[in-house]
Chain A
Amino acid sequence: MNFDFSEDQKFVQRTAAEYLADHAPLSVCREVLESDQPYAQELWKGAAALGWLGTTIPEQYGGAGLGYLELAVIAEEVGRVLAPIPFGGSVYLATEALILAGSPEQKQRYLPRLAAGEIIGAFALAEGAGQTAADRVATRFDHGTLSGSKVPVLDGGVADFAVVVARGEQGISLALVDLDAEGVSVEPVTCFDPSRPQARLEFAEAPAQQLGEAVDGLALVERVIDGAAVLTAFEQLGGAARAFDITRQYLLERYAFGRPVASFQAIKHRLADLWCEIELARSNCYYGAWALSCGEAELGVAAAVARIAASDVFCKATQEMIQMHGGVGYTWEFDCHLFYRRAKLLAASLGSTSGWKRKLMDRLTQAAA
């Protein structure tokens, strides 16, 4: 038993942290938030140059051929700086779906360009308000064409292709569709976190291919989402830790009643509680990363546990962040709202916490039965 990352993995993490400290100050996130640009293109190029986009892509397809533990530590750093790049949709979801299920030709066609950052992928599951279950989608995939409507799709506006959860004669499957194809329309939507834009994808008999062989599509969808949930949990963990650090520093410097605000016990105790919850989420994330990295049967439970803990703690950390900053915390000019928004975006994409809790119990009681 060993519950820590290896020296090599820690090195990957340090390198990522150093690069992002230099190239992704929070002003980079703000720039995307306040402008029409959909993502930080320079940062995206940097991520490609450093090999992050192809971390888990096999070397034969131009990737680094590393494991999920390496990708997890990078994700934590990406989360810490609120990097406004299409990392989640493209790397944790579209790329992973291709690695897991793509045919050799599909892999050859997409993976090298994904690794190089030449194309961006997205993953389309949700179909409007309410909690979208993978086995309930209405989008159809029949005879090589896709019809239906997907909203919101994270990074849908900048993606070159999408992996779409759809229903066909064989049941649920994943369809691969190029977004510049005939019959595809991409519309921007108004986002809660404009630093990570989402889109509406409409398909009217758009040409698409089945991803890989016809397999148990539902199990594949679950597996892709579980993996992405673990990696996203690391982003959330990084975001929560950063929100905590900024808040702690602010409170040490801010004085009231002749003493640092951080010296009031009401504040100290809340920070202590928050720190405990972040550490707890960290433990749960490590467990998820381990289960993901060695393909353990426990992945279903471990992913849900990591996901729920990380979603909850990131949201809570950002609520406390604004509260403990006082009035400035509520201003557009201060960075608190960047965290507040990102936390809610990440907690919503891949499905809500209550949905994950139901999944967790299904998996726990199945495992026991």
Chain B
Amino acid sequence: MDFSDTPEEAAFRVQARTWLETNATPRTTEGSEYESLGERIGEAELAAAKGWQKKKADAGWACLHWPRAFGGRDATPIQTVIWSQEEARFKTPPNIYLIGHGMAGPTLMIHGSAEQQQRWLPRMLSGEEVWCQLFSEPSAGSDLAGLRTSAVRDGDYWVVNGQKIWTTGAQFCDWGILVARHDPGLAKHSGLTYFVVDMRSPGIEIRPITQIDGGQGFNEVFFTDVRIPDSNRIGEVGEGWRVAITTLMNERATVGTLSGDAFGSADLIDLAARLEVDGAPALANAAVREKIASFHVIAKGVELTGRRIVSDLSQGKMPGPEASLMKLLGARLIQDMAAYAMDLQGEAGAMVGVDDAAHQGRWQYRYLAISGFRIAGGTDEVLRNIIAERVLGLPADVRADKGMAFRDIPRGG
């Protein structure tokens, strides 16, 4: 056991930091950053994000753990963590590549043909092409396999009709990963097939949805007779669920590498040093100190658990359902910390103006955005089910739709 860098790791860290220092500006605790899931991405943010990704790709700092064949550097999971720790110390544009690099890419590497990989992965890595995830539907979120969007074979094409929702980034994405139902006569998990769809195909209509924080990160996406070539199918017909599981497992593992500062208590300590309680600095108040200490214990635990998961990955293990705990505990922690930070601000906790609010409204924004994070990528309740059933081996929930053909399953209003 060794929590410090080996000499090779230390050298790699210096190399990463040196490159970042010449190519980016360090982050400070000042300023109101937007910690959300890609909201507020306008032309300028998009250009900045693509510029940053291109710069990294040109210098060999993009998708480090990907194979060299696709532009990566075959880095170890630990090196990837070192890189993200270092990158987090700098001001960088919003990351619009989480779905591509963290989910679609790894899925294509496992289930895509060599030709498909060569076609999509290099430009995904360089950031020229951005990807979105077309999984959820109005009546299929947690119960994703209950999706209804249909794909009907027509020669070398598939014709897709239906509606997706909550599609993050659809308005600026080039490609989407799509799960659709090719046969409603089969049981619900068996009738699914997985595709890559060109987001500029005729028949796709994208309508942004406004979130509780006023941003428009996600969208409704309507499909009307959209034609997808069969060469864009990933995996066999009817294997869609299996392929989708790969995507979802990677989605949860991605969150593991997001840890670090985001979950840390340092911001809260900084805030408490700036505010007063009963005429003395909040940071000197015993109740405040005990509360922050409690947060710190969880924050450190989440961070270290992330590192343990990475340790497992470096021993060649696959990202397992264990990674769900990072998102489950991390999101609740951030929500609790943000709520407490607003509480500490007293009546002023209800202001978000950059000039008037402590920390320029950072905590208020966090408090709004984090409530979406507890839902996106598997709700808290779904994650608990996954842990209970797949890690702890407890019996599966009773299912009312077991063994039925999809078309016969009862549906709500």
Contact = CB atoms under 8 A, between A and B. Distances in A.
A281 B283 contact: no
Interface string A144-180: 0000000000000000000000000000000000000
Interface stretch (A127-135, A261-269, A335-343): A261-269
B269 A286 contact: no
Interface string A320-364: 000000000000000000000000000000000010111011001
B387 A3 contact: no
A284 B300 contact: yes
Chief secondary structure at chain B's binding surface: helix
Contacts of B296: 305, 360-361, 364
A2 B2 contact: yes
B293 to A, nearest CB: 4
Interface string B279-311: 000010010011011101110111011011011
A49 to B, nearest CB: 27
A308 B297 contact: yes
A287 B301 CA distance: 9
A293 B325 CA distance: 28
Contacts of A308: 293-294, 297
A8 B358 CA distance: 51
B121 interface: no
B78 A1 contact: yes
A323 B113 CA distance: 53
B301 A290 contact: no
A312 B301 CA distance: 13
A294 B2 CA distance: 9
Contacts of A262: 394-395
Please tell me the size bucket of the interface on A: 35 or more
Given A273-B384, A365-B269, A2 B1 contact: yes
B6 interface: yes
Contact of A361 (B266, B290, B381, B385): B290
A192 interface: no
A283 interface: yes
A2 B311 contact: yes
A305 B388 contact: no
A69 B2 CA distance: 11
Contacts of B398: 259, 263
A75 to B, nearest CB: 15
A87 to B, nearest CB: 22
Contacts of A269: 381, 384-385, 388
Given A2-B2, A262-B395, A287 B300 contact: yes
23 contacts: A1-B311, A2-B2, A69-B1, A251-B394, A262-B394, A263-B395, A263-B397, A265-B385, A265-B397, A268-B385, A268-B397, A269-B381, A271-B394, A272-B383, A276-B387, A279-B322, A280-B301, A283-B301, A284-B300, A293-B1, A305-B296, A308-B293, A365-B283
